[in-house]
Structure 1
C-alpha cells in the first residue's frame, strides 16, 4: 500500500516549500505527486520565448534558499536553475512520483485519511494532504467556430512547442496579458508578420531591470546581504497596497505615469487609443515591460483591438468581426488560466461525501485561503484569496506553511488524527475578506479580470498588506478548529 503521513500534490515552489518545511519539522514520511514527467512546476513548464518573473528575484525566492541572481528580474532559464538548486539542496528528487496525475481524492472518515486516485500510478493514502498545484496551472483556450479545421500550428504559451520554427512565419498571438507582453517583443523581429489580438488593453509600466555585477552576485550569495536586500525590496513593494486599496490620489499618480510612458513609446495617436485602458490601473494585473510598446510599432506587427476580434477560424487562418480574413501559419494562445473557479482541477469528496464543487458552486472560499469545513486534514497552497498583486507570492506561500505545519504538529502532539476548520470560523473569515475587498481597485476599478470568479467575487487576491496575512497565519487558533 502506498501510504504516507503527508502527500503533496504539485512540485512547483508551493510543493517544494511544503516539503522543506516538513523536513525542518522532523516529518519525513511524505511524497510529492507530480502530473508531468519532470519536477519543478511553473518555471520548468513555461519555456516560451521571453519568459521571466515580474517580481525582483531577491524577493521572488524562498527565505531558506538564497541564490546569487544575475539580474533583478530573472528569466526562465535562471528560475529553472534556482528550482533545480532547491530540489538538489534539500534532497527532494527522491521524494517525488512523476506522471502521477491526480484524478480525484476522497476522505475516509473511518480511517481518518485521504485516498488519492492517480490512475496509472495507482492509489495513494495519506493522513494529511497538501494541494500545491497552483492557480496558474490549467491553461484556458477559447473556442471559435472552425477551430478544428485550421491546418496550421497552434499551441498555448504554457505548452510552447520548441520543435516548431516560427521564424519567417505569419503568426497570430491571441491575448495581450502577462505572457503575451513577454513573447511579442521576443519573436516580433523574427517573424514575417505578427498579428496581436487584444481583447482589452493593459496598463504597462517600465521594467526597472538591471544586471548584477560579479561583486554584487557574490554579496547576494551571502545570507546577511541577501536578507538585507530582500527586506529593502519587500518594504518598497509593500507600500503599493496603499494605492490599490487606500489612496485614490496615489493610484491616479501611477496611472498618469503609465499614460506618459505609453505616449513616450508610441507616437501614433490611433495606436495610443487602442492601447489605453478604460479602467483604473491595478484593476487588472499591471504589466512591466520596456519592449512591448516598441514591438507593437514595428512595420511587421499589427494590433487588432476589440472591433477586429476573432469570430471564426478556417483551414488557412482567422476571420475577424470587421470582415478581414488573415492567413497565418501559427496561432499562439496566450489566453491565461482557470485561476479562480478552477483552483483545484480534480474532484474532491470530503466528509459524508460532500463535494468541493458543490461547496464552491457560488464561488471558491477557504479559511485563510487554506482550509475548509468538512474537508479534514486538507490544505490548499495559494487557495482562494491568497494572491498578492503588489509583492511576492512566495511570501504568502511561506506564510501559509506556518499555519499548515502548526495544524499538523498540533494533531501529532495531542495524539489525534484529524483537524478541520469550523463552519462559523470560515464564514467569518470569508465575510471579512469580501468586506475588505469592496475598498480595493480590484472591485471598484471598472474592469472584469481573471481575479474574479464567474460570480463576480474577487477570488484571486488578498485585500490587504502581505504582513497582515502573515500575522493571520502565524499559528493555529484552536477555537476556530475541530480536532478529533
Structure 2
C-alpha cells in the first residue's frame, strides 16, 4: 500500500491550492490522485465551444500566482495555460498519479488513517483532502428513449472534438451558463439549432475587453496586480447587499437592466416573453453574455420552452410534448452537474461504518463546508455552502485552506493522530447558515435551482459576504474540535460562539 501524510483527491484549483498550502507548511509527504489522464480539473476538462470564465480573470486566479491575462474574462484555452503554469511552477506533476480513479475510501480507526481504494491500487494517509469539486460529475437527464438515439450525443463536460457539427442539425438541452457560451459559438456553423429551455435565466451584458500589451506588462507588476484584484473584489462584493439584504436594490440596479437588455436585443414579442424569467434576478445563476440574445433571434434557431419540452428521445431525434418530431444529428447536453447531493461521487465511510451518504441523508452539511463529525482528518474543498454567487470561487478555496492548515497543524503540534469537529459545533454552524439563507434571494427569490438539494435546502451557496467566510475560516476554534492521541481520547470543552 502507498502511504502518505496527506492524500489529495482532484487536481483542479482546489487540489493545486491544497498542495501549495502543504508545501508552504513544509509538508512534502503528499500525493494528488487524479481520475483523468491529465491534470487541471475544470478548465482542462471543459473544452466546449465558447467556454470561458464568468469572473474577471485577475480575481479568478490564485493570489500567489499572478498572470498577464490577455482579456478581462479569460477563455478556456488561456485558463488551461494558466492551470498548467501553476502546476509546473509548483512541481505538482511529480506529486500526482493520473488515471487513478477513486472507487471508495474508509477510515481505519485502529490505525487512525484513511484508506483510499482506487483503480490503481490502495493508498493510505493520515489526512484526506477531497478536492474533486462540485462541478465535476456531469448530470444527464434520463429522458425516455435516450439510449435509442442513433446520432451523436455528449455532455458539454465531455465535448467530442472528433465530431464535426458544421452544417448539422443540432439540439442543445439546457439554457444555463455552458449553453449560453456554446450557442453563440456554434450557431453560424450549424444548419438548424434547437434550444430546449426548462426555465429562462436572467442575462446581463458581459463587460469584457482585451488587454493591450502594455496593460499585460502592468499585470506582471505584483503591486499593480494586487491593486486591480482588490478593486474588482470590492466592486463584486457589493452585490451581496442585493442578494441578501435588499431585493429592492437588486430590482433597481440589476433586474430592470436585464429587462431592458432583453427588449434591446430581441425583436419578437413572443420570444421576449419566452426568455423573460418570472423570478427575482439572482435566484438562479445570472448569465453574462453580450452575444446570446441576438443568435436566439435568428431564423434557423428555435427556442423550446417547458410548454414545448422533451417528451422522448427517438432514434432520429426528439419528440416534443406538443407532438412535434425533430430529426437532429447531434444532441448536446448542457445540463449541469451533481453539485449538491452528489458533491462527492465515491463512497466515503467514516467511524463506526457511517457513510457520508447516511450523514447527508437529510441534506449535505459540514462545519465551514469542510469538516464533518464522525469523519476524522477529512476535509472537503468547496463542500456544502461554500459556493459564491458574486465573486471568485478561488477566494473561498484559499480561505478554506486557512482552516484546513490550522486543523492539520493542531494535530501535528500536539502529537495527536486525528482531529474531528464536534457534533455541537457542526449543528450550530449549519443552523446559522440556513437561518441566514432564509434572507437571501437564493431561498426567497421564487425559483428552483441547482443551488438547492432535493430537500429544498440551498446547499451550493454561502449566505453572506466572502470576507465573512474568510474570517470564520481563519479563526480556528479548538473548542469546536476533539483530538485523538494514542490514548486516551481527548474531548475539549464544547463549542463556543460562531461569531
Q: TM-score range by the shorter chain?
A: over 0.9
**Does 1:191 find its partner at 2:182?**
no
How far residue 48 of structure 1 moved from its aligned partner, in angstroms, is 0.1
Match of 1:338?
338
Whether contact under 8 Å (2:247, 2:441) holds in the other structure is: no
Superposition CA RMSD, Å = 0.5
Deviations 1:313-338 (A, max 9, x none): 11111100111000100000000001
Q: TM-score, normalised by structure 2?
A: 0.96
Distance 1:244 1:51 in 2: 26
3-state SS of paired residue (1:155): strand
Match of 1:141?
140
Alignment of 1:72-471 (within 5 A): 72-118=72-118, 120-253=119-252, 254-471=254-471
How far residue 248 of structure 1 moved from its aligned partner, in angstroms, is 1.9
Alignment of 1:11-30 (within 5 A): 11-30=11-30
Deviations 1:270-296 (A, max 9, x none): 000000001000000000000000110
How far residue 300 of structure 1 moved from its aligned partner, in angstroms, is 1.0
Deviations 1:188-227 (A, max 9, x none): 0000010000000000000000000011100101111100
Match of 2:496?
none
Whether contact under 8 Å (1:406, 1:475) holds in the other structure is: no
How far residue 476 of structure 1 moved from its aligned partner, in angstroms, is 1.9
How far residue 23 of structure 1 moved from its aligned partner, in angstroms, is 0.3
Q: TM-score, normalised by structure 1?
A: 0.99
Q: Which runs of 5+ in 1 are unaligned?
A: none
3-state SS of paired residue (1:60): coil
How far residue 436 of structure 1 moved from its aligned partner, in angstroms, is 0.1
Distance 1:310 1:454 in 2: 22
Q: Which runs of 5+ in 2 are unaligned?
A: 485-499
3-state SS of paired residue (1:105): strand
3-state SS of paired residue (2:474): coil
3-state SS of paired residue (2:17): helix
**Does 1:38 find its partner at 2:38?**
yes
Whether contact under 8 Å (1:114, 1:126) holds in the other structure is: yes
3-state SS of paired residue (1:103): strand
3-state SS of paired residue (1:442): helix
Aligned length: 483
How far residue 475 of structure 1 moved from its aligned partner, in angstroms, is 3.6
Whether contact under 8 Å (1:49, 1:183) holds in the other structure is: yes
Distance 2:52 2:419 in 1: 39
Whether contact under 8 Å (1:172, 1:331) holds in the other structure is: yes
How far residue 388 of structure 1 moved from its aligned partner, in angstroms, is 0.3
Distance 1:82 1:75 in 2: 11
How far residue 310 of structure 1 moved from its aligned partner, in angstroms, is 0.5
Distance 1:104 1:20 in 2: 25
Aligned structure 1 segments of 4 or more residues deviating by more than 6 angstroms? none
3-state SS of paired residue (2:84): helix
Deviations 1:228-277 (A, max 9, x none): 00000000000000000001221111101000001000011000000000
**Higher mean Cα deviation, 139-148 or 383-392?**
139-148
3-state SS of paired residue (1:21): helix
Whether contact under 8 Å (2:40, 2:84) holds in the other structure is: yes
Distance 2:77 2:228 in 1: 22
Deviations 1:436-465 (A, max 9, x none): 000000000000000000000000000000
3-state SS of paired residue (2:36): coil
3-state SS of paired residue (1:262): helix
Distance 1:131 1:124 in 2: 14
Whether contact under 8 Å (2:198, 2:306) holds in the other structure is: yes
Match of 2:497?
none
3-state SS of paired residue (1:473): helix
Whether contact under 8 Å (2:152, 2:330) holds in the other structure is: yes
How far residue 186 of structure 1 moved from its aligned partner, in angstroms, is 0.4
How far residue 307 of structure 1 moved from its aligned partner, in angstroms, is 1.0
3-state SS of paired residue (1:172): strand
Distance 1:233 1:16 in 2: 23
How far residue 305 of structure 1 moved from its aligned partner, in angstroms, is 0.7
3-state SS of paired residue (1:364): coil
